Structure 1
Amino acid sequence: MLESIKTVNPVLQALFATLFTWFLTALGSAMVIFFKDIKRGILNAMLGFAAGVMIAASFWSLLAPALEIAEENGDIAWVPVAGGFLAGGLFLLVVDKILPHLHMGLDTKKAEGIKTSWQRSILLILAITLHNIPEGLAVGVAFGAAALNGANGSYLGAMTLALGIGIQNFPEGAAVSIPLRREGMSRRKSFFYGQMSGIVEPIAGVIGALFVIKMTTLLPFALAFAAGAMIFVCIEELIPEAQRDEKTDSATVGAMLGFTIMMILDVALG
Structure 2
Amino acid sequence: MSDSGFGSSTLALALVGSAVTVLSTSLGAVPALAMGGISQRTKDVLMGFSAGVMLAATAFSLVVPAIHLAEERSTSRFVPALVVGGSMLGGACSCTCATASSRTSTSSRARRATRRRRT
Instruction: Give the TM-score, by structure 1 length.
Output: 0.27
Measured in 1, the distance between the counterparts of 2:37 and 2:83 equals: 43
SS at match of 1:64: helix
AA paired with 2:39?
K
Measured in 2, the distance between the counterparts of 1:69 and 1:15 equals: 25
Q: State the 1:79 CA deviation.
A: 2.2
Q: State the 1:29 CA deviation.
A: 2.6
Q: State the 1:17 CA deviation.
A: 2.8
Q: State the 1:46 CA deviation.
A: 1.5
Matched length: 94
Structure 1 residues 63 and 75: CA distance shift in structure 2, 3 A = farther
Identity %: 28
Cα distance per residue 1:37-60 (max 9 Å; x no partner): 122222112211111111111111
In the alignment, what sits opposite 1:44? 44
Structure 1 residues 19 and 56: CA distance shift in structure 2, 3 A = same
Measured in 2, the distance between the counterparts of 1:12 and 1:42 equals: 40
In the alignment, what sits opposite 2:54? 54
Instruction: Give the TM-score, by structure 2 length.
Output: 0.53
AA paired with 2:36?
K
Measured in 2, the distance between the counterparts of 1:81 and 1:10 equals: 32
Measured in 1, the distance between the counterparts of 2:31 and 2:63 equals: 34
SS at match of 1:75: coil
Mapping of residues 1-270 of structure 1, within 5 Å: 7=6, 8-31=8-31, 34-79=34-79, 82=82, 86=86, 235=95
Tell whether the 8 Å contact from 2:63 to 2:84 is kept in structure 1 after alignment: no
> Larger C-alpha radius of gyration, 1 or 2?
2
Measured in 1, the distance between the counterparts of 2:51 and 2:67 equals: 23
Tell whether the 8 Å contact from 2:71 to 2:80 is kept in structure 1 after alignment: no
Structure 1 residues 20 and 44: CA distance shift in structure 2, 3 A = farther
Measured in 1, the distance between the counterparts of 2:77 and 2:9 equals: 29
The CA RMSD measured in Å over matched residues stands at 3.8
Structure 1 residues 67 and 89: CA distance shift in structure 2, 3 A = closer
Measured in 2, the distance between the counterparts of 1:71 and 1:51 equals: 29
Which consecutive unaligned segments of at least 5 residues does structure 2 have? 103-119
Measured in 2, the distance between the counterparts of 1:78 and 1:25 equals: 38
Cα distance per residue 1:176-226 (max 9 Å; x no partner): xxxxxxxxxxxxxxxxxxxxxxxxxxxxxxxxxxxxxxxxxxxxxxxxxxx
Which consecutive unaligned segments of at least 5 residues does structure 1 have? 91-227, 242-270
AA paired with 1:18?
S
AA paired with 1:76?
S
Structure 1 runs of 4+ aligned residues shifted over 3 Å read 5-15, 83-86, 234-237
Tell whether the 8 Å contact from 1:70 to 1:80 is kept in structure 2 after alignment: yes
